[in-house]
Structure 1
Amino acid sequence: MYHILRIILYKLWVVSTFTLFSSFIVFWFYGFVTAFAVFILGISGILYSAQDLLLYYPNDPPDSRVFVLQPSNYKLPYESIKIKNKDGFKIHMFLIKQTSNSNHKPTMVFFHGNAGNMGQRLSNVSGFYHKLNINILMVEYRGYGLSEGAPNERGLYIDAQSAIDYIMQRTDVDRTKIIVFGRSLGGAVAIDLVSRLEYRNKIWALVVENTFTSIPDMAQIILKWNCLTWLPQFCHKNKYMSLKKIGQILTPTLVICGSNDALVPPAMAQELYVRCGAVCKKLAVLPGGGHDDTWTCRDYYSSIQQFLVNVPPLPEDIIPFFDDVSKDPTSRNTLVHTV
């Protein structure tokens, strides 16, 4: 509770001070009842706005918005790419391709968690590259790293759609073997993407790791306030209703969680697995894995590899879709590459 109040007062001290001052002025002229109403409305607005500050940490550590570690530091071949999303913001991405037969390898679209930038996940991505023998498209949401804008739920969904649209336009990757991966907050973004009607039959596999069922559920667990049980959904600025959306997913799905995750309870992974609408699905609970280090567990990469081996190919009737996308000149107008 103290940590939350400290963040609110530090980030929104001007608004907080204005609210308190306004309440005193109203009390002087109109009395206690009106002043109390103004105070409650002001505090409600502050708490609603502060939800972004409590969820998104693009400045942790402090240099995350100006310094992004490059894949070359791990001796990985890559392209540094910027695309313009539907809102007009430039989104930064790394495309790391295998040096041989990259167009015959699966490609993973990687969505990271709520803090830092994608460069801080390169150790994990290096493992995907070498141990799974796949290509990886790393996506940096708006307001993170070198991407423009500020993070919000709708915006992150749009960034994910822009990234998948981009990779579907590439002719140097196998567009019938696209893996969508998300960790923690990235898992919620991945679930939203794959649950959408326009994408659910075009993604080969979905992998989510240490992902929550929803933000309202996480708020109850972290804050431990009984009153949150009765709080209406519209009071939550960010919802990320993954448990509700995952029932609409038909894509083969792997749900991974660390048994020692102290932030997102492993029971949430079980709920997501049970609710998932896919026929081909698997739950992998890795002993000793924490929220941020499950990828260091012994069976981590082998669990993903075994799952992918059993994923069936996409139906042949969607193959013409990829040809239509690659021939559409208008879909490339918003792309900006920086190699």
Structure 2
Amino acid sequence: MNSSNNSILDHPAISGRYLFPQSRHVGDPFVVEVEGAELACYHDRIDPEKLTVVFFHGNGEAVADYVPEISDRFAELGLNSLFIEYREYGGSTGRAQLVAMLGDGEAVMAAAGVAPEKAIAFGRSIGSLYAIELVSRQPKIAGLILESGIADPAERFLNYADLTAEGMTESEVVAATKLHFHHKRKLSGYTNPLLVMHTENDGLVDISHAERNYKWAGSRQKRLLRLPTGTHNTILSKNAREYFAAVDQLARQASARRE
């Protein structure tokens, strides 16, 4: 599904300055065709009866950065994993565009045969935009994890955008962001378990973003894990034990709701 509708957010002055396609790619990708692109994703299925983590990475990362180390860690927790590659990233074709990619996670899930009730959406940094979109489209998804996530995408877009060269205005960007990335509305409709993880010292995406996403969520079981060490890009390496323990707890909550 392509939901772009020629959004100004997909213009090179915005998407082209906020998305940073990386060439690193996995050797044996799970390739999925979407409108306008082929996505070179990665699917590790250890047990079809277990939950699957549907993972969206950051804007300067690639699926290859998480395979096999992180997929193996998920497997140790008894979780399958499905890493979504963005357009133009890794081995994917197409153009990296913020709005055009909104339906890609749902398409990859369907291609992989992962039912919403057996999925955990996981979004890191900009990946939070697509994880939140996925649960808004599929509210029966068993669990949602937001790591170093973003509450106000317009703030981030405007930090990078080159509006003057294209005659765009900040108000137009804010309006388009509210139309496509209205996190307060999307999260309020999600009621299954939620884990929000963020470091106190994230100098790129302030922890206030985590606080807002947590507050907005309609989840009946939700947790905000504030980590005192690490930064935006070292949250996992500096807090691996607490990080994966929290993921395991969320997965157990999600599994318990299925039984």
- Sort the TM-score into its range (normalised by shorter chain): 0.7 to 0.9
Which residue of 29, 34, 58 corresponds with 2:21? 58
**Are 2:257 and 1:313 equivalent residues in the alignment?**
yes
- Seen in structure 2, the aligned counterparts of structure 1 residues 96 and 281 have a Cα distance that, compared at 3 Å, is same
Which residue of 26, 34, 37 corresponds with 1:89? 37
1:117 corresponds in structure 2 to 62
CA contact 1:55–1:114 (8 Å) conserved in 2:
yes
Question: What's the offset of the Cα at 1:125?
Answer: 2.9
Write the distance in 1 (CA, Å) between the matches of 2:32 and 2:158.
37
Structure 1: which amino acid aligns with 2:75? Y
Write the distance in 1 (CA, Å) between the matches of 2:38 and 2:159.
35
- Please give the secondary structure, in 1, of the residue aligned with 2:230: coil
Aligned residue pair count: 237
2:207 corresponds in structure 1 to 266
CA contact 1:105–1:133 (8 Å) conserved in 2:
yes
Where is the helix percentage greater, Structure 1 or Structure 2? 1
Question: What's the offset of the Cα at 1:261?
Answer: 1.1
- Seen in structure 2, the aligned counterparts of structure 1 residues 134 and 112 have a Cα distance that, compared at 3 Å, is same
**Are 2:121 and 1:164 equivalent residues in the alignment?**
no
- Please give the secondary structure, in 2, of the residue aligned with 1:212: coil
| Rg (Cα) greater in structure | 1
- Seen in structure 2, the aligned counterparts of structure 1 residues 270 and 175 have a Cα distance that, compared at 3 Å, is closer
Post-superposition CA distance 1:261-290 (Å, at most 9, x none):
111101110110011011121111122131
Structure 1: which amino acid aligns with 2:121? V
CA contact 2:152–2:209 (8 Å) conserved in 1:
no
Write the distance in 1 (CA, Å) between the matches of 2:198 and 2:20.
22
Write the distance in 2 (CA, Å) between the matches of 1:307 and 1:262.
26
Write the distance in 1 (CA, Å) between the matches of 2:116 and 2:150.
28
Runs of 4+ residues deviating >4 angstroms: 219-223, 234-239
Cα RMSD, aligned residues only: 2.6
Superposition pairs of residues 37-186 of structure 1, within 5 angstroms? 49-59=12-22, 64=23, 67-70=24-27, 80-85=29-34, 87-98=35-46, 102-122=47-67, 123-130=69-76, 132-167=77-112, 169=113, 176-186=117-127
Normalised to the residue count of structure 2, the TM-score between the two structures is 0.81
Which stretches in structure 2 are left out of the alignment for 5+ residues? 1-7, 162-168
CA contact 1:194–1:251 (8 Å) conserved in 2:
no
- Seen in structure 2, the aligned counterparts of structure 1 residues 156 and 235 have a Cα distance that, compared at 3 Å, is same
Which stretches in structure 1 are left out of the alignment for 5+ residues? 1-44, 71-78, 224-229, 316-339
2:165 corresponds in structure 1 to none
- Please give the secondary structure, in 2, of the residue aligned with 1:216: helix
2:3 corresponds in structure 1 to none
Structure 2: which amino acid aligns with 1:58? P
Structure 1: which amino acid aligns with 2:14? Q
2:171 corresponds in structure 1 to 232
1:200 corresponds in structure 2 to 139
CA contact 1:286–1:300 (8 Å) conserved in 2:
no
Write the distance in 1 (CA, Å) between the matches of 2:220 and 2:39.
34
Greater RCO (Cα-Cα under 8 Å, separation 6 or more): 2
- Seen in structure 2, the aligned counterparts of structure 1 residues 278 and 118 have a Cα distance that, compared at 3 Å, is same
**Are 2:213 and 1:257 equivalent residues in the alignment?**
no
- Seen in structure 2, the aligned counterparts of structure 1 residues 49 and 94 have a Cα distance that, compared at 3 Å, is closer
Write the distance in 1 (CA, Å) between the matches of 2:30 and 2:202.
33
CA contact 2:143–2:250 (8 Å) conserved in 1:
no
- Please give the secondary structure, in 2, of the residue aligned with 1:255: strand
- Seen in structure 2, the aligned counterparts of structure 1 residues 90 and 216 have a Cα distance that, compared at 3 Å, is same
Question: What's the offset of the Cα at 1:253?
Answer: 1.2
Write the distance in 2 (CA, Å) between the matches of 1:314 and 1:204.
8
Write the distance in 2 (CA, Å) between the matches of 1:124 and 1:147.
20
Write the distance in 2 (CA, Å) between the matches of 1:124 and 1:81.
17
**Are 2:242 and 1:299 equivalent residues in the alignment?**
yes
